[in-house]
Chains A and B, each alone.
Chain A
């Protein structure tokens, strides 16, 4: 599904990612943990195509294609979804419109007919229930006036509707109380499928109590320094990030 080889990324002149390697197979759930400043968000931004980052070396192949050659919207149409750490408010553009437009863009890309307004509403209302959201959020402007938890739920709602192949969750758990976290995790778990992969970026081990990863990676100083099973997250929890950083040093 996704193959990252020797990825080096700069922000300005400053190297942030320094030779990152990662292989994600279809259906796998990978968690990337690491201290602040390790390059976690840079990784999610580079994969989704945000500007401001310079790839100085390495390759990223997604479904056999060079991902880095594609515009952000092309990546999205081809099934790469980023759940934002800080979802952006878009006053004046309705949430439900954006979701419908995005879904139809993806369907068009797959050669499928567009969904009509009625079918879309049925689909969306189902997913809204799953995420225990109020339907009124559908008709509001994108993220405008949403609380932090509502914004994160809205991101997962979009993932549930768009059914991406590669779902990148950028600190989706940060700032959520335990009830909200359970709802968001249930939403993510319902999306797990054989042909869908997840890359979860998180600072907190707590998320992994609710979404069980297949593989846990530790990112420090721009590289993956350790990979293992879910037990690695527990070890990290017990010993702290300093343990990893000491091993790197």
Chain B
């Protein structure tokens, strides 16, 4: 391959808009962006040849050459339909086509000691603080989406919670893409100082035409900090979605993730966490695929120090011609003795054409650990169907009950009542043939 061969059309296209990117006056960021742009120019978006991407073909994103939205007419947005996605009792940051909308966001009453602001603004006001966290949990060389994101992100969220502060309300980041052909490319930084606690929700929605939404989030949890992160991905039917969540957990910190992947034509999530001594992570996921949806979840848990705990449960329900991918990797470093790790991936295939590729990987270099993993791919249990039939439930309803119960287990784990109802509603909408009744619960 010659040095001047063009791998991707994106760098040339996005260079035109470089002046409009936030933080151009911040020296360290300019360097990071340059480096990332070079990285991306050299390699482009990930290819099937990369092990972590062998089941997910993203070449359509290159072909479609999605353009950056430089500004958005707020008038084009249906405010009412947006409001239905906002939690009633949360502070919110709304990003429309990758740009912060102050008028749609709600940040009244945030304590003075806490920083919740959009990334463009944070780069003006808090650049020095940000420098310690930017590109720390993930580097541009990770893969093409992270490089692309670092080089050309347009906005995002910066959340900083000082030591011992417990946020009384959840923070919601609502990502909306309003127009066909757009790429929303956002970067979030979340920092919880020692013993701080927060709950954050990321919501992704968009129009019915093809677009791309790519969000990279870096999370830094100091000693004994506690973050619950919810992700509700409800992109439009033709959308491409990439979400990367990269977490660094200091000693005794706790990270709980609830990842609901419902929308998009092609959706990929990367969730990585580094666990230091006695840190704990709990990764929960539910993916529902219909029609020709392709949903890929890729998790990596690094046990770096002793006594850390990781629990992971990902469930998939795939119907029609949908395809699911689960790659779960747990690495236990040599010094990470007394690691307690449990990984499970359970899949329900509802049609003959639905497919799932699941690949759990354990790499254990320590000798005194408790690690387990399990994978199931199957249809509904015939014994269970017969049991329900013997209790007067007809066969189709029995199947529906079991399908719903399988998925609902993940919804029941949601602790925010408002969000629980929202996600349950999505479950009901997305399996209309199931004829779910609320009182089955």
Interface mask (A84-106 → B, CB under 8 Å = 1, otherwise 0): 10011011111001110110011
User: Whole-angstrom distance between the alpha carbons of A92 and B360 in the complex?
Assistant: 26
Interface mask (A26-47 → B, CB under 8 Å = 1, otherwise 0): 0000000000000000000000
Determine if A220 is an interface residue (Cβ-Cβ < 8 Å).
no
| B382 partner, pick from A51, A77, A141, beta carbons under 8 A | A51
Considering the complex, which residues of chain B in the window 394-414 have a beta carbon less than 8 Å from any beta carbon of chain A? 394-395, 398, 401-402, 404-406, 408-409, 412
Q: Say yes or no: A102 contacts B391, CB within 8 Å.
A: yes
CB distance from A111 to the nearest CB of B (A): 15
User: Whole-angstrom distance between the alpha carbons of A209 and B99 in the complex?
Assistant: 78
Determine if B83 is an interface residue (Cβ-Cβ < 8 Å).
no
One of A56-64, A68-76, A176-184, A241-249 contacting the partner = A68-76
Q: Say yes or no: B386 contacts A50, CB within 8 Å.
A: yes
Considering the complex, which residues of chain B in the window 361-393 have a beta carbon less than 8 Å from any beta carbon of chain A? 381-384, 386-393
Q: Say yes or no: B389 contacts A90, CB within 8 Å.
A: no
Q: Which residues of B contact A71 (CB under 8 A)?
A: 389, 394-395
Q: Which residues of B contact A158 (CB under 8 A)?
A: 391
User: Whole-angstrom distance between the alpha carbons of A101 and B400 in the complex?
Assistant: 15
- How many A-B residue contacts, CB cutoff 8 Å? 79
CB distance from B139 to the nearest CB of A (A): 41
Determine if A82 is an interface residue (Cβ-Cβ < 8 Å).
yes
User: Whole-angstrom distance between the alpha carbons of A73 and B390 in the complex?
Assistant: 5
User: Whole-angstrom distance between the alpha carbons of A247 and B408 in the complex?
Assistant: 55
User: Whole-angstrom distance between the alpha carbons of A88 and B402 in the complex?
Assistant: 12
User: Whole-angstrom distance between the alpha carbons of A72 and B392 in the complex?
Assistant: 8
User: Whole-angstrom distance between the alpha carbons of A119 and B243 in the complex?
Assistant: 50
Determine if A49 is an interface residue (Cβ-Cβ < 8 Å).
yes
Q: Which residues of A contact B383 (CB under 8 A)?
A: 88
CB distance from A33 to the nearest CB of B (A): 23
CB distance from B374 to the nearest CB of A (A): 15
| B393 partner, pick from A73, A81, A84, A141, beta carbons under 8 A | A73
Determine if A48 is an interface residue (Cβ-Cβ < 8 Å).
yes
Q: Say yes or no: A76 contacts B405, CB within 8 Å.
A: no
Q: Say yes or no: A101 contacts B393, CB within 8 Å.
A: yes
Most buried by B among A76, A90, A98: A90
List 13 A-B residue pairs with CB atoms under 8 Å apart, sorted by A's residue number.
Answer: A51-B386, A71-B389, A72-B386, A82-B390, A84-B387, A90-B405, A92-B408, A92-B440, A93-B440, A98-B388, A98-B391, A99-B391, A101-B393
- Show the binding face of B for A, using Cβ within 8 Å: 381-384, 386-395, 398, 401-402, 404-406, 408-409, 412, 439-441
In the A-B complex, the 8 residue pairs with the closest CB atoms: A92-B405, A105-B392, A72-B389, A88-B387, A102-B392, A102-B391, A76-B392, A73-B389
Q: A88-B387, A93-B401, A105-B392 are in contact. List 20 more A-B contacts (CB 8 A).
A: A48-B390, A51-B386, A71-B395, A72-B390, A73-B390, A73-B392, A75-B390, A88-B383, A90-B384, A90-B388, A90-B401, A92-B402, A92-B409, A92-B441, A94-B440, A97-B439, A99-B391, A101-B391, A102-B393, A141-B405
